[in-house]
Structure formats: structure tokens, C-alpha cells
Amino acid sequence: MRKAVSRWRDSLRARGAAWVLRRQGEDRLPLELARRRIYVLPTRAGLGFGVLLLAMLLAGLNYANSLALMLTFTLAAFAVVAMNHCHRNLQGLRVLAAHGAPAFAGGHSLLAFTLANPATLARHALRFEATGATAELPSIDGEGSARVELPLPAASRGVRQLDRVRLCTDFPFGLVRAWTWLHLPLEIVVYPAPLGSRAPPLQGEGRESGARTTQTGRDEWRDLRPFRDGDSPRQVAWKAYARGLPLLVKEYGGSTGDILELDYSRLEDPDPEARLSQLCRWIIDAEAAGASYALRLPGGVAFPASRGAAHRLRCLESLARFGAASGADR
């Protein structure tokens, strides 16, 4: 029975979403919220308030009590005015920008919206909703603008597409709720979780994983980091270990000339996601160390050795899009 009710509810929601999309069409930024795209319905508090007004009306008519009838009609007028104010709280708002920030699997991505209020009156209690997540904007001053960030869980790697986002408000008294749907081309890139403890391989044949070469032997010791599986015992700081410290590994920098060759096919883990997580871990560590690195993925995806924010972004995005893993949320 519950499954049947759930299927019926999902089908009804899908039909409603399709009807709204046909009625409004695809949105393009900047977007102004027109009157015809704003919907209004009473909240639970509003329904209770309506039942109370009906009971007061019946009692006033039954006992011919003029004061009860006057109070009933006054409260009804109050509810109508509240509905108009709730609708006006959204009408005319402008959505200037919308952007989804990339995230790592297992974390949260931020979906940022920039709103502008062209009216002289302030807007209050605005709320963005998508896939169970909520972000509230307390107010926007008259002729002002504001930015709100909606945190979305990034459960798995891939490209996440949001078909629509709801912008709603129940200002001023919570008796009615006005809302609109934003059908924007929103895409969130979710990188693999940076996991793995293997040492990255160096470019060139005949080198052991994790080994380092030098140019004229002028590598300089830079830092210590915790020991990870695959690190060479020659790099362990044995003197620090003898003093009671945990296993630490010496990191070197300077004129090493080493290039990290990050190749998907060289990893032996049978799980593709584990391979991508290891590659992601190597990319982040290489950037932190200032090292150059190249990336190779199946399907002819290859990035020559480089470093920097742009190179890091290209490599991480290629990991997120590997295998065309994607999902759409409604």
C-alpha cells in the first residue's frame, strides 16, 4: 500500500513539474519574476486559520451576533491582505546569477544565487529549496542586492544537473506560501574523494614508485609528513622516530626536475572509483608540493605535464566526467 501511494505521489509530482515547465519554459539569466509564474497556497497554519474563521462565521450567524460577524470579516480581510503581501514579496525580484561550485565526493557543494530588488520596499524571509536542502535569505533592502548559498550534498562523483530550484516565502504571517520554480541550466561538478596512500610514480622508465631523481644533487629538504603505504624507507626520518615521534617522511623540493606521471592504467585496483580517488589525491598533493604532473585516462584523455590552478582544474574535472557519470535532480 505504501509503495503504491509513493508511486502515485511521484507520478503526480512528475506531471506537475512537466506542466510547470511547459507553462514557464526554460529560464535564462538575468530573470525577473513575473506575476503569472508565482503560485500561492495556504500553509497548514493558514488552513487552520480558515477553519477557525468558518466556525466563527457559523456561530455568529447562528446566534445573530453582530460583533462575532464583524470580527470574522475583519480577520478574513486580514488574511486577504496577508496573501497580497506574500505574493508581492516575490513579484519583480530579479535573479542575476546562479553558479554551482565544484566539490569533492562526500562533501557539500554550494549553489550560489545573486538576487536584486528593484523596488523601494524590502523583501523578507526568502528561501531556496532543492533536493531536500534549504537556504534562507532574511531580507533584501530596497533597491539592493544579496547573495545566498544553498549547500547541496555531493554524495558521489560525477556531473550533477539540477532541473529546477524552488524560491518561496511565507512572509508576513505564515498563513500563505508563495513560490516559483527556477528552470536554469545548473550543473555541479563533483570530483572524486581524494583518497589513497600510494606514492605517485615519476616519469621515465626503470624508476621505482616514489623514487626521486635530482639535477646536480641540489634537492633541499622542505618538510615532514606522515608515513603512507608505498613510501621508500630511505625517506623516513629515523632520527625523529627514535625520539618517540610517529613515522614521518622527508619531503624534498628545489631543483628536482621530477615530473609525476599519473596514469589510470598503471593502477591495479579493480575498483575504478578507487583509482580515480588515488589520482585525485596525487593531483592535490602535487599542487601542494609545487610539482609538475601529467595525467592520462582511458579514451585518449591526456594532459601534458604542467602545474597551477588552471591545470589542476582541468585534471580534476576530467576525473569527475570520466565515464560520463551524471545525475539529474528534481
How do residues 76-121 score in pLDDT, each as one tens digit? 999 999 999 999 999 999 999 999 999 999 998 999 999 999 999 9
Do 31 and 136 have their domain in common? yes
Per-residue pLDDT reduced to its tens digit, 47-58 = 999 999 999 999
Q: What is the model's pLDDT at position 252?
A: 59
Predicted confidence at residue 290, as pLDDT, reads 82
Are 223 and 186 part of one and the same domain? no
> Given pLDDT bands bounded at 50, 70 and 90, which one contains residue 287?
confident
- What is the C-alpha separation between 72 and 83, in angstroms, rounded? 17
pLDDT more than 70, % of the chain: 85
Q: Is residue 181 domain-resident? A: yes
Pairing relationship of beta strands 94-100 and 107-116 according to DSSP bridges: antiparallel
CATH of the domain at 54: 2.60.40.10
Kindly report the number of other CB atoms within 10 A of residue 203's CB atom: 16
Q: How far is CA 164 from CA 33, 326, 329, in A?
A: 15, 16, 8
Residues 254, 186 share a domain: no
**What letter represents residue 251's amino acid?**
E
- 259 and 322 assigned to the same domain: yes
Domain count, the chain: 2
DSSP assignment of 144-200 equals -EEEEEEEEEE-SSEEEEE--EEEEE-TTTSSEEEEEEE---EEEEEEPP----PPP
Residues 163 and 88 in one domain: yes
- d(C-alpha 167, C-alpha 208), whole Å: 56
Same domain, 179 and 72: yes
Give the residue from 255, 100, 86, 92 showing the smallest Cα distance to 165: 100
Q: What span, in angstroms and rounded, lies between the C-alpha atoms of 264 and 298? A: 7
Q: Is there a domain that residue 307 lies in?
A: yes
Confidence (pLDDT) at 212: 42
Q: How far apart are CA 60 and CA 69, in angstroms?
A: 5
Residues 109 and 237 reside in one and the same domain: no
Is residue 260 domain-shared with residue 309, that is, in the same domain? Answer: yes
- Output the pTM of the full model: 0.74
In a domain, 4, yes or no: no
Q: Which range marks the domain in which residue 315 is found?
A: 219-329
C-alpha cell at 184: 536554469
